[in-house]
Structure 1
Amino acid sequence: MKRSGSADLPLHYGHVPRWLADRMAKLGLAITESILIEYGREAFLSRMSSPFWFQSLSAVMGMDWHSSGITTSVMGALKKALNPHAAELGIYICGGKGKFSREAPSELLQVAEKTGLDGDALVRSSKLSAKVDNVAVQDGFQLYQHNFIVSRDGDWTVIQQGMSEEGRMARRYHWHSAQLRSFVEEPHAAVCGQHLGHILNLTAREAALSREGMLTLTREQPERIFPEIQQLIMPSRHELRAEDVDLKRLGAALWMAHDHQPERFEDLLLLPGVGARTVQSLALVSEVIHGTPSRFSDPARFAFAHGGKDGHPFPVPVKVYDETIRTLQTAVEKARIGETDKKEAIRSLHTLAVKAENDFVPNDRFEGWVQKERDESWRYGGRTVFGKAEPPAAAKKNVQLRLF
């Protein structure tokens, strides 16, 4: 087995309000169905095994762009949304956070009964992946979440997360069954993240004698990196800065959505009534569905689809979120019966955004754009965990004037 990557995230506490959790489940299902229709189950598992893609998915779903809570919330939303359709989709999500993580083996055996897969082998893979990250590699993070995602074909991905109270960080680990070799020798792409001193790594090739006789221990530095390393370390600060995103990619998407004539988008999408702000979100969602791995190096960029529940970079625009869900659901439903116009229209948003990058020159308007989103959030039903977005003072005055 080869671990696909790991991600270090600042430890945040809190909850996901029902108004957002329900929308996350709907959008998560629509994105998953789009990927399955277009690329298949193995492609979905491959994406889930990438820490960068997973972080981008969580951002486009309206979660905080950098915090540890996204793992629990996104996997909870996907499990809630996908499992009722598992027989149709061929994707099953087991496990969860805390006590639910310990239910993964029994859930996998139930999946095996339904699909004919080798349940004992799946349970063994689940337990070994957890043991490796919790015991064989002792890097200061204690696992508290374990999700095992398996397809009816027998392919699987593990997403699990550990906590370091001392460093107030969480570390997320991703595994993918596509490159199975061994659980006990070099199963990871690397052990990486913020430097926490020496770690115990019994999966290192140099530890072969230790595994055989447990007579000596091999200590490895956390920064030991292989060429295929995927490393994602998110800052502890809340605010989103220009340095966190690829300004050329973000700027091209915003320019495409807002500076073209709306009629052109209506003709393109065949979805009358979809305005520029919804096109902005759809363009970023389209990239999550259709983008190549190299385009997820700046996951924070995807927060410009639906903001964040804590208001960073701006409140969640609920009306836009709902329109995005409806548009994507319609495209999926039409694709099932062979009508692909809307599906292809959504894909073309990603294609146009990529082409726009050839001519777009980044500017210094990042902070202004964030402020614009905040100022206009109330128009789109903006909400955070703290309440509904209020119009700025000038807008309030104009509204009052229009009333008389």
Structure 2
Amino acid sequence: MAKRTGSADLPLHGGRVPAWLATRMSSLGAVVTQAIVHHYGRDEFLRRLSHPFWFQSFGAVMGMDWHSSGITTSVIGALKRGLGPLQHELGIHVCGGRGQHSRKTPDELRALGDRIGFDAVALTRASRLVAKVDSAAVQDGFDLYLHGFFVTDDGRWTVVQQGMKGDSKQARRYHWHSETVKSFVDAPHSAIDGRPQGEVFNLTDQRAAPSRSAQLDLLTSLGADGIVDEFTALTGSQAAQPPLPHLIMPAHHDVRSSDVFTRRLHGTLAAAAERGPLDFPDLLLTPGVGARTVRSLAMVAEVVHGAPYRFRDPARFSLAHGGKDRHPYPVPIKVYDETIRVLKSAVQNARLGRDEELDTLKRLDDQARQLERMASGPSLKEFVGGELEVSASLGGRSVFGWEADRRDPLAAAK
């Protein structure tokens, strides 16, 4: 049966991703996907998407708000744009999205079925059942507004969808994966993300099988009016479900030391300092940016190669490219673009049979894991302070504008 991998609390945020970040997220998302598929295959990419902690870390390394529910919308949108031109090469397709885009999922699946040859009818049914289960069979008070359907040429799929509870300003994300789904009504989720809030009626739980059967019997024998009468006569309470491991996404926007496993950060910094000069001299050509880019590449490499347990602190991955809301610091555009350039070069060469550059990134990740046991380094406050100090020189940008504008009153007034 399907397993749940955990849960997460996601503050509900509004707003839009600015165009300058959206285009870069699409590029970075596409090249990271290519690297994962190259090393581990497209089924592994689907498994990554179905893991809530990895998904949040993936969005954070792209420069989105590290704790926000907006990561779900922006990551799905970025992958839909970025993987569109690569769908024939990778055999991975992204359907659906937010609002009206979610309702287009059946049409998109039918069009793919006609072109590729998989069973679009079965996949469309799966899409509808997933949405129906999370909106009706799991009654947790969250209204669905987003449905992303990832499917491969051979018909394997992952669904990521999200609901909101406006009065509490919370969102809940649901993950599904076809590899583990044996039944749509018997423990089908790979994970349900969100803050436990009151009683949740989850008829998809394995322990609810007798309840589902009894409900059908009642409907047959008593009819709707009889069920209402029986319900008013009943008293008692249901036993609480045992808690699942869950990741708490706090309301505060700033990244704090409690949000980050510092020893892993120190391992990344040490690996970048030791391996960068040895492995990257021919790749990093932009003066003054190279050493800083290696640090970002080390975090991106962990997203590509890291085991699930390494994503328990998604905030750490926001230290690769900052955040659009200036937390932990403005997005360093020069570093972001250099990261994309290096990754694209590595992926393009790997397609030609030259794996040296992609293997270099893997060595960088391996080195970070070894060094984190003994490495020391700056505190999180010192690290973020250093990034803020050089932000303008690295093309720091946020939704508030260019960092240089914020430091230069004359430029800001123009």
What TM-score comes out, normalization by structure 1 length? 0.90
Task: Kindly indicate whether residue 280 of structure 2 is the aligned counterpart of residue 266 of structure 1.
Answer: yes
Aligned AA for 1:94?
Answer: C
Aligned AA for 2:389?
Answer: D
Partner of 2:123: 122
Task: Kindly indicate whether residue 246 of structure 2 is the aligned counterpart of residue 246 of structure 1.
Answer: no
Partner of 2:402: 388
Contact preservation (8 Å) 2:5, 2:191: no
Contact preservation (8 Å) 1:4, 1:175: no
The structure 1 segments of at least 4 consecutive aligned residues displaced by more than 6 Å after TM superposition are 216-219
Q: 369, 373, 397: which one pairs with 1:354? A: 369
Alpha carbons of 1:231 and 1:373: their partners in 2 closer, same or farther (altered >3 Å)? same
Helix, strand or coil at the partner of 1:102:
helix
What is the alpha-carbon distance in structure 2 between the residues aligned to residue 271 and residue 386 of structure 1? 29
What is the alpha-carbon distance in structure 2 between the residues aligned to residue 198 and residue 39 of structure 1? 40
Helix, strand or coil at the partner of 2:171:
strand
What is the alpha-carbon distance in structure 2 between the residues aligned to residue 145 and residue 222 of structure 1? 28
Task: Kindly indicate whether residue 331 of structure 2 is the aligned counterpart of residue 321 of structure 1.
Answer: no
Helix, strand or coil at the partner of 2:327:
coil
Contact preservation (8 Å) 1:95, 1:147: yes
What is the alpha-carbon distance in structure 1 between the residues aligned to residue 347 and residue 81 of structure 2? 19
Partner of 2:223: none
Contact preservation (8 Å) 1:256, 1:356: yes
Task: Kindly indicate whether residue 98 of structure 2 is the aligned counterpart of residue 97 of structure 1.
Answer: yes
Q: 255, 261, 265: which one pairs with 2:270? A: 255
Helix, strand or coil at the partner of 1:198:
coil
Partner of 2:382: 368
Q: 221, 224, 231: which one pairs with 2:242? A: 224
- Greater shift after overlay, 180-189 or 77-86? 180-189
Shift of 1:230: 5.3
Contact preservation (8 Å) 2:10, 2:194: no
Partner of 1:402: none
What is the alpha-carbon distance in structure 2 between the residues aligned to residue 281 and residue 91 of structure 1? 26
Task: Kindly indicate whether residue 392 of structure 2 is the aligned counterpart of residue 378 of structure 1.
Answer: yes
What is the alpha-carbon distance in structure 1 between the residues aligned to residue 238 and residue 53 of structure 2? 25
* Aligned pairs (5 A) from 1:145-294: 145-188=146-189, 193-214=194-215, 215=218, 224-225=242-243, 229=244, 231-258=246-273, 260=274, 263-267=277-281, 271-273=284-286, 275-294=290-309
Alpha carbons of 1:314 and 1:189: their partners in 2 closer, same or farther (altered >3 Å)? same
What is the alpha-carbon distance in structure 2 between the residues aligned to residue 127 and residue 239 of structure 1? 38
**Where in structure 2 are there 5+ consecutive unaligned residues?**
219-226, 409-414
What is the alpha-carbon distance in structure 2 between the residues aligned to residue 326 and residue 134 of structure 1? 42
Identical amino acids, percent of aligned pairs:
51
Helix, strand or coil at the partner of 1:358:
coil
- Greater shift after overlay, 84-93 or 380-389? 84-93
Partner of 1:132: 133
Aligned AA for 1:124?
Answer: R
What is the alpha-carbon distance in structure 2 between the residues aligned to residue 193 and residue 77 of structure 1? 23
Shift of 1:263: 3.2
What is the alpha-carbon distance in structure 2 between the residues aligned to residue 221 and residue 200 of structure 1? 11
What is the alpha-carbon distance in structure 2 between the residues aligned to residue 85 and residue 35 of structure 1? 14
Partner of 1:62: 63
Aligned AA for 1:67?
Answer: S
Contact preservation (8 Å) 1:11, 1:169: yes
Shift of 1:368: 1.2
Partner of 2:86: 85
Deviations along 1:109-139, one digit per CA (max 9) or x if unpaired, are 1111122111111011111111111110011
Contact preservation (8 Å) 1:284, 1:302: yes
Shift of 1:189: 5.5
Aligned AA for 1:380?
Answer: L
Q: 341, 352, 363: which one pairs with 1:337? A: 352
What is the alpha-carbon distance in structure 2 between the residues aligned to residue 108 and residue 192 of structure 1? 26
Aligned AA for 2:109?
Answer: L
What is the alpha-carbon distance in structure 1 between the residues aligned to residue 17 and residue 237 of structure 2? 39
Partner of 1:400: none
Shift of 1:166: 1.5
**Where in structure 1 are there 5+ consecutive unaligned residues?**
397-404
Task: Kindly indicate whether residue 325 of structure 2 is the aligned counterpart of residue 307 of structure 1.
Answer: no
Aligned AA for 1:249?
Answer: R
Shift of 1:329: 0.3
How many aligned residue pairs are there?
Answer: 389
How large is the RMSD of aligned CA atoms in angstroms? 2.4
Alpha carbons of 1:93 and 1:380: their partners in 2 closer, same or farther (altered >3 Å)? same
Aligned AA for 2:257?
Answer: A
Contact preservation (8 Å) 1:193, 1:222: no
Contact preservation (8 Å) 1:194, 1:222: no
What is the alpha-carbon distance in structure 2 between the residues aligned to residue 297 and residue 272 of structure 1? 34
Alpha carbons of 1:173 and 1:255: their partners in 2 closer, same or farther (altered >3 Å)? same
Contact preservation (8 Å) 1:201, 1:220: no
Deviations along 1:254-282, one digit per CA (max 9) or x if unpaired, are 23324x48633435x75455621000000
Alpha carbons of 1:279 and 1:190: their partners in 2 closer, same or farther (altered >3 Å)? closer
Larger radius of gyration: 2
Contact preservation (8 Å) 1:10, 1:68: yes
Aligned AA for 1:123?
Answer: T
Deviations along 1:197-242, one digit per CA (max 9) or x if unpaired, are 11222123343344235248997677633xxx55222011101111
